[in-house]
Amino acid sequence: MSDPLLSIEGLHTAYGPIEVLHGVDLVVNEGEIVSLVGVNGVGKTTLMRCISGVQPVKSGAIRFRGEDLTRRPDHARASLGITHSPEGRQIFGDLSVAENLRLGGYHRSDDLGADMEEVFGLFPILRDKADLDAGGLSGGQQQMLAIGRAIMGRPKLMLLDEPSMGLAPVLVDQVLAVVKSLRDRGVTLLMVEQNAYAALSIADRGYVMEQGEITLSGKAADLIADPRIREAYLGA
Protein backbone atom coordinates (compact mmCIF):
# COMPACT_ATOMS: atom_id res chain seq x y z
CA MET A 1 0.00 0.00 0.00
CA SER A 2 1.25 3.54 -0.70
CA ASP A 3 2.16 5.91 2.12
CA PRO A 4 -0.58 8.19 3.46
CA LEU A 5 -0.28 11.78 2.24
CA LEU A 6 0.31 12.96 5.81
CA SER A 7 1.25 10.84 8.76
CA ILE A 8 1.96 12.20 12.23
CA GLU A 9 3.51 9.94 14.82
CA GLY A 10 4.09 10.56 18.51
CA LEU A 11 4.27 14.34 18.10
CA HIS A 12 5.32 16.41 21.10
CA THR A 13 5.74 20.18 21.13
CA ALA A 14 6.02 22.86 23.79
CA TYR A 15 5.82 26.61 24.27
CA GLY A 16 8.87 27.21 26.46
CA PRO A 17 8.68 24.78 29.35
CA ILE A 18 5.00 23.97 28.81
CA GLU A 19 4.30 20.94 26.66
CA VAL A 20 1.01 21.31 24.73
CA LEU A 21 1.01 18.26 22.43
CA HIS A 22 1.69 14.98 24.21
CA GLY A 23 2.25 12.37 21.53
CA VAL A 24 -0.26 13.02 18.76
CA ASP A 25 -0.86 10.36 16.06
CA LEU A 26 -2.91 11.30 13.02
CA VAL A 27 -3.14 10.19 9.39
CA VAL A 28 -4.59 11.96 6.35
CA ASN A 29 -4.95 9.88 3.20
CA GLU A 30 -4.87 11.39 -0.27
CA GLY A 31 -8.29 12.70 -1.31
CA GLU A 32 -9.79 12.87 2.17
CA ILE A 33 -11.30 15.64 4.24
CA VAL A 34 -10.20 15.01 7.81
CA SER A 35 -11.61 17.17 10.60
CA LEU A 36 -9.90 17.75 13.91
CA VAL A 37 -12.37 18.91 16.53
CA GLY A 38 -12.00 19.98 20.14
CA VAL A 39 -12.72 22.89 22.43
CA ASN A 40 -10.64 26.06 22.78
CA GLY A 41 -7.03 25.72 23.80
CA VAL A 42 -6.54 21.93 23.46
CA GLY A 43 -3.78 22.33 20.85
CA LYS A 44 -5.48 22.11 17.45
CA THR A 45 -3.88 25.24 16.02
CA THR A 46 -0.52 24.23 17.48
CA LEU A 47 -0.73 20.94 15.58
CA MET A 48 -1.44 22.81 12.32
CA ARG A 49 1.51 25.11 13.03
CA CYS A 50 3.76 22.08 13.53
CA ILE A 51 2.65 20.67 10.17
CA SER A 52 3.22 23.92 8.29
CA GLY A 53 6.57 24.32 10.02
CA VAL A 54 6.12 27.51 12.01
CA GLN A 55 6.12 25.69 15.34
CA PRO A 56 9.17 23.55 16.14
CA VAL A 57 8.65 19.94 17.15
CA LYS A 58 10.16 18.46 20.30
CA SER A 59 9.91 14.84 19.23
CA GLY A 60 7.94 12.63 16.89
CA ALA A 61 7.56 12.59 13.12
CA ILE A 62 5.54 14.44 10.50
CA ARG A 63 5.72 12.54 7.22
CA PHE A 64 4.47 13.80 3.87
CA ARG A 65 4.30 10.94 1.35
CA GLY A 66 6.59 9.02 3.68
CA GLU A 67 9.27 11.71 3.91
CA ASP A 68 9.95 13.20 7.34
CA LEU A 69 9.32 16.96 7.26
CA THR A 70 10.16 17.60 10.88
CA ARG A 71 13.48 19.32 10.16
CA ARG A 72 12.40 20.99 6.94
CA PRO A 73 11.81 24.76 6.98
CA ASP A 74 8.30 26.09 6.40
CA HIS A 75 9.03 27.40 2.87
CA ALA A 76 10.19 23.93 1.82
CA ARG A 77 6.86 22.55 2.99
CA ALA A 78 5.00 25.19 0.98
CA SER A 79 6.88 24.15 -2.14
CA LEU A 80 5.83 20.53 -1.53
CA GLY A 81 2.24 21.72 -1.79
CA ILE A 82 1.25 22.27 1.83
CA THR A 83 -0.71 25.46 2.52
CA HIS A 84 -2.04 26.74 5.84
CA SER A 85 -5.10 28.96 5.78
CA PRO A 86 -6.62 31.19 7.03
CA GLU A 87 -4.00 31.34 9.82
CA GLY A 88 -5.61 34.38 11.43
CA ARG A 89 -6.42 35.38 7.85
CA GLN A 90 -3.20 37.34 7.33
CA ILE A 91 -4.31 39.09 4.22
CA PHE A 92 -2.53 42.22 3.01
CA GLY A 93 -4.99 45.01 3.72
CA ASP A 94 -3.37 47.67 1.56
CA LEU A 95 -3.16 45.43 -1.51
CA SER A 96 -6.17 44.81 -3.70
CA VAL A 97 -8.21 41.62 -3.54
CA ALA A 98 -6.78 40.52 -6.91
CA GLU A 99 -3.21 41.24 -5.78
CA ASN A 100 -3.75 39.17 -2.64
CA LEU A 101 -4.94 36.29 -4.80
CA ARG A 102 -1.95 36.56 -7.13
CA LEU A 103 0.36 36.39 -4.12
CA GLY A 104 -1.10 32.97 -3.33
CA GLY A 105 0.38 31.71 -6.60
CA TYR A 106 3.69 33.55 -6.34
CA HIS A 107 5.80 30.41 -6.66
CA ARG A 108 4.10 29.34 -9.90
CA SER A 109 5.41 30.31 -13.28
CA ASP A 110 2.28 29.42 -15.25
CA ASP A 111 -0.69 31.67 -15.96
CA LEU A 112 -2.76 32.37 -12.86
CA GLY A 113 -5.80 33.63 -14.78
CA ALA A 114 -7.70 30.35 -14.90
CA ASP A 115 -7.30 29.75 -11.17
CA MET A 116 -8.32 33.32 -10.44
CA GLU A 117 -11.50 32.68 -12.46
CA GLU A 118 -12.06 29.52 -10.43
CA VAL A 119 -11.79 31.45 -7.15
CA PHE A 120 -14.16 34.12 -8.48
CA GLY A 121 -16.56 31.33 -9.48
CA LEU A 122 -16.48 29.96 -5.93
CA PHE A 123 -16.71 33.38 -4.25
CA PRO A 124 -18.37 35.85 -6.67
CA ILE A 125 -18.14 38.69 -4.14
CA LEU A 126 -14.35 38.63 -4.58
CA ARG A 127 -14.75 39.35 -8.29
CA ASP A 128 -16.98 42.34 -7.49
CA LYS A 129 -14.32 43.67 -5.12
CA ALA A 130 -11.24 42.54 -7.09
CA ASP A 131 -9.76 46.05 -7.46
CA LEU A 132 -10.57 47.28 -3.96
CA ASP A 133 -8.22 47.19 -0.98
CA ALA A 134 -8.55 43.87 0.87
CA GLY A 135 -8.52 45.78 4.17
CA GLY A 136 -12.02 47.07 3.39
CA LEU A 137 -13.56 43.59 3.16
CA SER A 138 -15.85 42.28 5.88
CA GLY A 139 -14.57 39.50 8.15
CA GLY A 140 -16.41 36.85 6.15
CA GLN A 141 -15.07 38.19 2.86
CA GLN A 142 -11.54 38.18 4.26
CA GLN A 143 -12.04 34.55 5.23
CA MET A 144 -13.05 33.78 1.65
CA LEU A 145 -10.04 35.70 0.35
CA ALA A 146 -7.71 33.70 2.60
CA ILE A 147 -9.16 30.44 1.30
CA GLY A 148 -9.05 31.76 -2.28
CA ARG A 149 -5.42 32.70 -1.87
CA ALA A 150 -4.63 29.19 -0.64
CA ILE A 151 -6.40 27.74 -3.69
CA MET A 152 -4.16 29.87 -5.95
CA GLY A 153 -1.15 27.95 -4.63
CA ARG A 154 -2.64 24.71 -6.08
CA PRO A 155 -2.08 22.87 -2.82
CA LYS A 156 -1.88 19.11 -2.45
CA LEU A 157 -2.68 19.38 1.25
CA MET A 158 -4.64 22.30 2.60
CA LEU A 159 -4.59 22.97 6.33
CA LEU A 160 -7.74 24.92 7.10
CA ASP A 161 -7.86 26.55 10.48
CA GLU A 162 -11.36 27.41 11.70
CA PRO A 163 -12.79 28.32 8.29
CA SER A 164 -16.20 29.01 9.85
CA MET A 165 -14.90 31.33 12.56
CA GLY A 166 -16.84 34.57 12.77
CA LEU A 167 -19.03 33.80 9.77
CA ALA A 168 -22.80 34.17 9.61
CA PRO A 169 -24.52 30.76 9.23
CA VAL A 170 -25.27 31.28 5.54
CA LEU A 171 -21.58 31.95 4.88
CA VAL A 172 -20.56 28.91 6.94
CA ASP A 173 -22.57 26.77 4.53
CA GLN A 174 -20.98 28.49 1.55
CA VAL A 175 -17.45 27.98 2.85
CA LEU A 176 -18.12 24.32 3.69
CA ALA A 177 -19.52 23.76 0.20
CA VAL A 178 -16.27 25.20 -1.19
CA VAL A 179 -14.24 22.86 1.04
CA LYS A 180 -16.17 19.90 -0.35
CA SER A 181 -15.68 21.09 -3.90
CA LEU A 182 -11.93 21.36 -3.30
CA ARG A 183 -11.83 17.72 -2.30
CA ASP A 184 -13.74 16.86 -5.47
CA ARG A 185 -10.94 18.61 -7.39
CA GLY A 186 -8.25 16.49 -5.77
CA VAL A 187 -7.17 18.68 -2.84
CA THR A 188 -6.70 16.80 0.42
CA LEU A 189 -7.84 18.75 3.47
CA LEU A 190 -7.12 18.74 7.18
CA MET A 191 -9.55 21.08 8.88
CA VAL A 192 -9.60 22.31 12.45
CA GLU A 193 -12.96 23.42 13.77
CA GLN A 194 -14.73 24.23 17.00
CA ASN A 195 -17.99 23.88 15.10
CA ALA A 196 -17.83 20.09 15.39
CA TYR A 197 -21.05 19.29 13.61
CA ALA A 198 -20.23 21.42 10.58
CA ALA A 199 -16.71 20.00 10.44
CA LEU A 200 -17.75 16.35 10.74
CA SER A 201 -20.73 16.66 8.42
CA ILE A 202 -18.49 17.27 5.40
CA ALA A 203 -15.52 15.12 6.50
CA ASP A 204 -14.57 11.56 5.64
CA ARG A 205 -12.88 10.95 8.97
CA GLY A 206 -12.41 12.85 12.19
CA TYR A 207 -10.21 13.12 15.26
CA VAL A 208 -11.15 14.52 18.65
CA MET A 209 -8.44 16.33 20.58
CA GLU A 210 -8.52 16.93 24.33
CA GLN A 211 -5.65 18.54 26.26
CA GLY A 212 -3.00 17.87 23.64
CA GLU A 213 -3.98 14.27 22.93
CA ILE A 214 -6.19 12.50 20.43
CA THR A 215 -8.91 10.79 22.45
CA LEU A 216 -11.22 9.50 19.71
CA SER A 217 -11.01 8.96 15.98
CA GLY A 218 -13.00 7.28 13.27
CA LYS A 219 -15.28 7.74 10.32
CA ALA A 220 -16.96 11.12 10.52
CA ALA A 221 -20.42 9.56 10.30
CA ASP A 222 -19.63 7.26 13.24
CA LEU A 223 -18.31 10.17 15.31
CA ILE A 224 -21.45 12.22 14.66
CA ALA A 225 -23.52 9.26 15.88
CA ASP A 226 -21.32 8.57 18.94
CA PRO A 227 -23.17 9.50 22.15
CA ARG A 228 -19.93 10.79 23.76
CA ILE A 229 -19.41 13.20 20.88
CA ARG A 230 -23.04 14.18 20.75
CA GLU A 231 -23.04 15.09 24.40
CA ALA A 232 -19.66 16.85 24.53
CA TYR A 233 -19.52 18.62 21.17
CA LEU A 234 -22.85 18.58 19.40
CA GLY A 235 -25.03 19.91 22.18
CA ALA A 236 -27.21 16.80 22.25
CA angle 125, 140, 39 (to 5 degrees): 150
- Binding of ligand ATP at residue 45 (CB under 6 A)? yes
- Binding of ligand ATP at residue 206 (CB under 6 A)? no
- The residue among 17 and 113 lying less far from ligand ATP, judged by its C-beta, is 17
| 5, 29 contact by CB (below 8 A) | yes
Q: How far is the CB of 8 from ligand ATP (least distance, A)?
A: 14
Which residues inside 12-41 make contact with ligand ATP, applying CB under 6 A?
A: 15, 20, 38, 40-41
- The residue among 10 and 41 lying less far from ligand ATP, judged by its C-beta, is 41
Measure the CA–CA gap between 58 and 137, rounded to whole angstroms. 39
Measure the CA–CA gap between 6 and 20, rounded to whole angstroms. 21
Residue of the chain from 7, 13, 32, 43 that contacts ligand ATP (CB under 6 A)? 43
- Binding of ligand ATP at residue 46 (CB under 6 A)? yes
Which region among 44-52, 71-79, 147-155, 181-189 touches ligand ATP (by CB under 6 A)?
44-52
- The residue among 41 and 93 lying less far from ligand ATP, judged by its C-beta, is 41
| Binding residue count for ligand ATP, defined by CB under 6 A | 11
- The residue among 16 and 227 lying less far from ligand ATP, judged by its C-beta, is 16
- Binding of ligand ATP at residue 88 (CB under 6 A)? no
- The residue among 181 and 215 lying less far from ligand ATP, judged by its C-beta, is 215
What is the three-state SS of the chain? CCCCCEEEEEEEEEECCEEEEEEEEEEECCCCEEEEECCCCCCHHHHHHHHHCCCCCCEEEEEECCEECCCCCHHHHHHHCEEEECCCCCCCCCCEHHHHHHHHCCCCCCCCHHHHHHHHHHCHHHHHCCCCEHHHCCHHHHHHHHHHHHHHCCCCEEEEECCCCCCCHHHHHHHHHHHHHHHHCCCEEEEEECCHHHHHHCCCEEEEEECCEEEEEEEHHHHHHCHHHHHHHCCC
Q: How far is the CB of 43 from ligand ATP (least distance, A)?
A: 4
- Binding of ligand ATP at residue 44 (CB under 6 A)? yes
- The residue among 122 and 192 lying less far from ligand ATP, judged by its C-beta, is 192
- The residue among 41 and 124 lying less far from ligand ATP, judged by its C-beta, is 41
| 6, 190 contact by CB (below 8 A) | yes
Residue of the chain from 42, 159, 198, 223 that contacts ligand ATP (CB under 6 A)? 42
- Binding of ligand ATP at residue 195 (CB under 6 A)? no
Residues that bind ligand ATP (CB under 6 A): 15, 20, 38, 40-46, 194
